[in-house]
Structure 1
């Protein structure tokens, strides 16, 4: 993500670097679906992705963001005003600052865009100042923003800009329509066009309700001269789609612009007869006929080239990010779901750790009631570096694995997390190895694909990384899978990476002390079990030896398929 110096998401930009998590991680943790629920517009989904997929292990960034979010959460009136601001500055929010190319600065279209940009800049400064001025803010991010915006507002140059922009917008607002002349060849294809006049009144639908063909076929209605005589009727090219979409051919798609002049600069024409440069001809004609306005705009706006319009524009999506998440979490809290402010450890002591109490998976919000969800506790510390998680199918292993990844990404984005308490050392990346789609395994086979993907992830791991493995190496025979998995876990342990390995290989968990925890690594691999009680899933994970055969025995006895039960049933028949 591009970062500006005035930011409430990316502090200390000269000191901090970010790593982007893989697309697979975003999908494996269910965050793609979650982002769509949080966003209110499609472009906000991309915004949420861009912020949350960029991670840094610097705890100061996580703490900075978390404090900003807490301020915004404590002041719902700030969110309300920010939403009104988004409605006012649609050019900033939907399209960003217009990209200009060398030589375009004299174009009337470019000047009009710049005028609108400055107008949105003024609205943004005034709205943010009003929004934050009288609030008891505690976060470094919002207090710094408040001071910076107040300084901009009090500068004498800002008042001059506001006055000049208001005057220029009033002058430009006199333009309400353009009269365009289109020359055609014998095949009725557009070969050139030009601007006939700039008008202070808009065209309106003619009282003579005829379509284009019926207006030109009768010979007595075809004019001999092209000179304006004040008696032309106006026929909308397409009343359903609005602005001009294509000249000389059927209009295919509506294009809606905040500034109606922009529609003409994008008009498409047939390439026949050398007419490909028609839009540029239109631009030149417009600039010539509106030269007085263009000169005034250029002279006025040229005084403010040093105004940080883009820096202010980049703040709009950042404010939207916090606001949309605040709305989502507030709504879920009212429905009974609990969240807490994460605590990034600013002074790390030893290996990267984590302490989570009452954690749950956000995906459960869509399918369960809060009172039916079983929370879990989990700790990473100097000793517990790798968890080998075993248990029965549908016992919650994958749900817990996903939940831990969600905690880190949400927390490092500055957001409250689904837990009662969460203290952690931020991760430099979150990597996942979940079962691959069948179409990705055609060339190497499923085991080959798993091995290739695992190696790619492993070389990216550091002691600050969080690695989540889900049924890795389970696509081959038990003996082969066990051999590969044991080597993989030993290597992970040697690197010190915080890891959860969710697997059906109970023997791997049984042999940890004999096979895995025998090297020089400081930490250890620990057996974690999705607990069952009386043959039923508790959906709680605990540090314990794998249940393995004992669990299978309980299930067999419950359904009467032990040797004793089966032979007894035979004797009674």
Structure 2
């Protein structure tokens, strides 16, 4: 059984991005449900789609789900039992033992139930997208085939035979120190055993409840470890079915190569759409703008965003209030084209520099995932890769030191990138003195302009923003550097970005005053320095 992918086409082009990018941009929290199913190295969101055809294909699938939310939830519910089957593969000692047979019965039954559930759901809802239409045709074809009808008949036959055993009596010989020494099956019955009330229960098989995407999944697991039970016990049970050996062997031979991987892959893809739909629906309830982005040619290397925002900021606000009052989420505009492709972003500490940087990366990834983007309007060129260079933790710098590690990371990123890549730098090269940080940052920005990279560099190095534009005269290409800042002298925490020179020393003075650490505030003396100048006149007290 093979399903068409709801994510990829046969000729899709893609590029794996580093898993750290997803973490740096805060997308791991949004897709936590997806990460609970598949390893982070195989995440759908880690594979950047590079062709418009595939993106449009996904947009249409998502549109079907947004028009009929029950369609998505019913498809997920129909496949809910599949996730448990990962642990049922290749557990038997050999193909003919009883455990392998029962294991295979569970797999075949889950496949039948899943196909029937998919068939019922896909026929019930109106479907317009190419991806879901192809899935619908594949399911209809499979469920109408004689092989599917034969599978159901064979399963019912084996299930009926296995149901004949209702109970098994096991005898245990004890050692002199009263430990179980020998266990054998002594009787197999076709009726359930009634336990005398005088004896207490010492072991049982229980239902283990696990949460998966909000649903309760029940899988029956014995309290003892099956590996510690002599396989001869299972063989003894199999002996009770010796008259049905041919039926069992035929069942195993016919279905031992049945493949559940297509169902698991389909479940993973549906989970991606579910997480994406839930994100979009939450933003809609908050009254925040979203749009289908206009895709530009990759060679344009452009991005035009109107009223964009960071989705993580929106969700943080949502956790503290039921509805967002006006302007509680600041919306911003940005234009990246021939006039500006490298942005040096400065502003107050905790003023939103990282939030803006993350938002630009989120929107680029969402656009290439085929999703709605958090903006009122968006036109975006596809990137061939996305790189983040955020400050590293001290624990990651044992060998090289923090600065050395950051320099090594940037060198790796720089050589992997092209003029169609997007680089996002967050307080990079801050693990050393101010002058050293400035010098290294200047070298990095100059190299980025030479290579014609698209880059957003948020930094506390105001001198870099003030002087980097001079590099436009050194390399006269189509990658211009501009300074943008968050806030202004009147409202340094406005969280609005605009083109302009950094706030510089006057901002630093405002910050000191805000936190009560100016000379006057700390000493209680009158103002002894000229506003905006760095030289203080110290008073000597005798």
Whole-angstrom distance in 2 between the partners of 1:554 and 1:124 = 63
Aligned residue in 2 for 1:33: 29
Unaligned runs of 5+ in 2: 209-215, 318-323, 521-526
Partner of 1:76: 69
Q: Distance in 1 between matches of 2:257 and 2:293?
A: 39
For residue 325 of structure 1, what is the aligned residue in structure 2?
A: 276
Shift of 1:25: 2.2
Task: Assess, with a 3 A threshold, how the Cα gap between structure 1 residues 293 and 79 changes in structure 2: closer, same or farther.
Answer: farther
2:151 corresponds to 1:161? yes
**Residue among 123, 136, 150 paired with 2:126:** 136
Per-residue CA distance 1:103-154 (angstroms, 9 max, x = gap): 7321222222222222222222222222122433232211111111111122
CA distance in 1, matches of 2:486, 2:55: 31
1:95 deviates by 3.7
Give the counterpart of 1:310 among 261, 269, 280.
Answer: 261
Aligned-partner Cα distance in 2 for 1:439–1:451: 16
After alignment, is 507-516 or 298-307 more displaced? Answer: 298-307
SS at 2:424's partner residue? strand
Provide Cα deviations, 1:376-407, integer angstroms capped at 9, x if missing partner. Answer: 12233344322111112122111111111222
The correspondence for 2:95, drawn from 101, 105, 108, is 105
8 A Cα contact 1:386 1:526, kept in partner: yes
- Structure 1 residues 46, 349: CA separation in 2 closer, same or farther (over 3 Å shift)? closer
**Residues of 1 paired with 2:41 and 2:113: CA distance?**
24
Structure ranking higher on relative contact order (CA contacts 8 Å, 6+ apart): 1
Aligned mates of 2:472, 2:442 — CA distance in 1: 7
User: In the alignment, is the contact (CA less than 8 A) between 2:430 and 2:437 conserved in 1?
Assistant: yes
Corresponding residue number in structure 1 for 2:185: 195
| TM-score, normalised with respect to structure 2 | 0.83
Which shows bigger deviation, 312-321 or 500-509? 312-321
Deviation by residue 1:348-372 (Cα, 9 ceiling, x = unmatched): 2624332222211112224433631
Q: How does 1:526-541 map to 2 (within 5 A)?
A: 526-541=482-497
Alignment of 1:395-406 (within 5 A): 395-406=351-362
Q: Is the 8 A contact 1:62 1:344 kept in 2?
A: no
Root-mean-square deviation (Å): 3.5
SS at match of 1:433: strand
Q: Secondary structure at the match of 2:456?
A: strand
Structure 2 contact 361–424 (Cα < 8 Å) conserved: yes
Q: Which residue of 1 aligns with 2:465?
A: 509
CA distance in 1: counterparts of 2:510 and 2:207, whole angstroms: 72
Distance 1:105 1:481, change over 3 A: same
**Who is 1:51 aligned against?**
44
Asked whether the equivalents of residues 342 and 416 of structure 1 are also in contact (C-alpha less than 8 Å), the reply is yes
Gap regions ≥5 residues in structure 1: 210-234, 245-255, 270-277
1:259, distance to aligned residue in structure 2 (A): 7.0
CA contact under 8 A between 1:534 and 1:554: conserved in structure 2? no
Query: What is aligned with 1:251?
Result: none
**Aligned position for 1:342:** 293
How far apart are 1:432 and its partner, in Å? Answer: 1.6
Cα 1:257–1:337 shift into 2, 3 Å: closer
User: Any residues of structure 2 matched to 1:439-458 within 5 Å, and which?
Assistant: 439-458=395-414
Q: What does residue 228 of structure 1 align with?
A: none
Residue 427 (structure 2) aligns with: 471
Matching residue of 1:488: 444
Give the equivalent residue in structure 2 for 1:236.
Answer: 201
- Kept after mapping to 1: 8 A contact 2:185/2:236: yes
Q: Sort the Cα spacing of 1:342 and 1:129 in 2 relative to 1 into closer, same or farther, 3 A.
A: farther
The structure-2 alpha-carbon separation of the partners of 1:459 and 1:565, relative to structure 1 and needing over 3 Å to count, comes to closer
Distance of 2:182 and 2:446 partners within structure 1: 73
In structure 2, distance between residues paired with 1:556 and 1:257: 56
Is the CA contact (8 Å cut-off) linking 1:489 and 1:516 kept in structure 2? no
1:525 aligns with 2:481: yes
TM-score calculated relative to the size of structure 1: 0.79
Are 1:282 and 2:233 an aligned pair?
yes
Summarize the Cα distance change of 1:305–1:285 in structure 2 as closer, same or farther, 3 Å threshold: closer
C-alpha contact 2:95 2:252 (8 A) present in aligned 1: no
* 1:525 to 1:202, Cα distance in 2 relative to 1, 3 A: farther
2: CA distance between counterparts of 1:96 and 1:159? 25
Which position in structure 2 is the counterpart of 1:547? 503
How many Å separate the matches in 2 of 1:466 and 1:264?
53
Indicate the larger mover: 348-357 or 181-190: 181-190
Cα displacement string for residues 129-181 of structure 1 (whole angstroms, at most 9, x for unaligned residues): 22122433232211111111111122222222223223333333333433334
In 2, Cα distance between equivalents of 1:326 and 1:173? 43
Q: Is the 8 A contact 1:47 1:321 kept in 2?
A: no
Distance change (3 Å), C-alpha of 1:525 and 1:78: same
Instruction: Give 1:80-91 correspondences, 5 Å limit.
Output: 80-86=73-79, 89-90=80-81
C-alpha distance after superposition, 1:196-251 (max 9, x if no partner): 34444444543104xxxxxxxxxxxxxxxxxxxxxxxxx42246x8489xxxxxxx
> How much does 1:78 deviate?
0.6
Question: Is this contact kept in 2: 1:107–1:287, CA < 8 A?
Answer: yes
Shift of 1:75: 0.5
- Pick aligned residue for 2:4 from 6, 17, 20: 6
Shift of 1:308: 4.9
CA separation of 1:515 and 1:20: change in aligned 2, threshold 3 A: closer
Name the SS for the 2:184 alignment partner: strand
